Amino acid sequence: MAEPSISVPDTAGTSANAVRPVRAATGALTTTIACSVPVFLVGGLAVQIGEELDFSPAGLGLAVSAYFGASALASVPAGALVERYGSTAVARAGIGLASASLLTIAVAARSLWSLIAILALGAGANAMGQLASNVSLSRHVPVRRQGLSFGVKQAAIPVSTMLAGVAVPVVALTAGWRWAFVLAAVGATAALRLVPVERDEARRSRADRGERATAALVVIGAAATLASGAANALGTFLVDSAVGRGIAPGPAGLALTLGSAVCVAARIGGGWQADLFPARQIAVIAGLLAAGAVGLALLAVGGVVPLVLGVVLGFGLGWAWPGLMNFAVVRLHPQAPAAATSITQTGVYAGGCAGPLGLGAVAHAAGYPTMWTVAGAAMLAAAALMVLGSRMLR
């Protein structure tokens, strides 16, 4: 389903206070990593943190769900802040909040509940960083290259996961997990230097708040909730599900790593093709989600081959769409990109919160095969809602 045609002048980077496209893309990437790293570092160091704070994998799931739930609540207010004060100020505030959250975890996390409280209070940084980066890319990267730039920015999320994994042997197993959070806070603070500055941004942002979110964005946000919930559940339950079907943890973990690598490549490659066919991205997203639904259904079947194919399709392709969604929404709402993407980003965060909790309950009550079937149906429904949202945008 083609999106409505819209003419957008390729004027990024032409004003007197313009930011170079490479600087904008670099700043968006580092801001996204810095603002999202707290939750991924908690996940990567869950074994070490859980041993000291005495919580189980269920406790970890509760902490991660609380983080994304708070991110969902903060998304629309964060979009309003970006529209009012500009991406530079909000990106810096997000990085500062993420750094403070990391340091507070290192110093003050003494129980699961204190960890949850700190993560939830710092979750606004995630929304602020994402939306500020969307605006920076929309204003400083030429339209003909924005698809690739959004794809690279969204690849920062898997990169954050990989950095968290590297922190385990390098820091957590030598100096201790608290020092890993201290070093992460220092690294996040360093990202402040890479935030692009535009002196007249706040004034233009207030003047340009002409287009607002529509019912179509709400529908697309609902699709993002279903798709994000299913994809996040895959990352949460894959290894445990595979082990329960008789597959060793090693191959199951390697399959998830392969899926992550495919996801990174698909996000970047998807951004590249978006620049070639900018008016077809909702249809591309629907196709990715349909392929992801097939992959999740395959996970209900036993055996290594269905496991690998299921992860590649379900995670590698079924989780490759966020950059394309941001690109499509920004392209159709160029006057208020933060306000528009704050609606759809709320859906992504809501899925990250509700998906593992809801599908985990299904797995507990009916088993993993049923859970994967339900997750596949949710992702297929997300594809249908994406098509419906595209029709409404016409």
Angle between helices 304-311 and 215-244 (to 10 degrees): 160
Topology agreement, domain 21-207 and domain 215-393 = yes
**What pLDDT shows up at residue 237?**
79
Please state which of the four CATH numbers 1.10.540.10, 3.20.20.70, 3.30.70.20, 1.20.1250.20 is assigned to the domain occupying 215-393.
1.20.1250.20
Of 193, 156, 181, give the one whose Cα is nearest residue 98. 181
DSSP annotation of 277 reads S
Residue 1 has pLDDT above 50, yes or no: no
Q: Using one digit for the tens of pLDDT, what is the confidence trace for 302-350?
A: 788 888 899 899 988 998 998 899 888 888 777 788 888 899 999 999 9
The secondary structure element, H or E, covering residue 131 is helix 124-140
Are 306 and 320 in contact by the 8 Å Cβ rule? The answer is no
Residue with tokens 């909040």: 97
Structure confidence at residue 106 (pLDDT): 93
In the predicted model, is pLDDT for residue 204 greater than 70? Answer: no
Mean pLDDT over 65-75 rounds to 93
Q: What confidence score (pLDDT) does residue 210 get?
A: 39
- Determine the pLDDT at residue 161: 63
Q: What DSSP element (H or E) covers 321?
A: none
Where are the domains positioned within the chain? 21-207, 215-393
The residue to which tokens 């964060």 are assigned: 78
Please check whether the domain covering 21-207 is classified as CATH 1.20.950.20: no
**Contact by Cβ (8 Å): 83, 336:** yes
pLDDT in tens, 343-355: 999 999 999 899 8
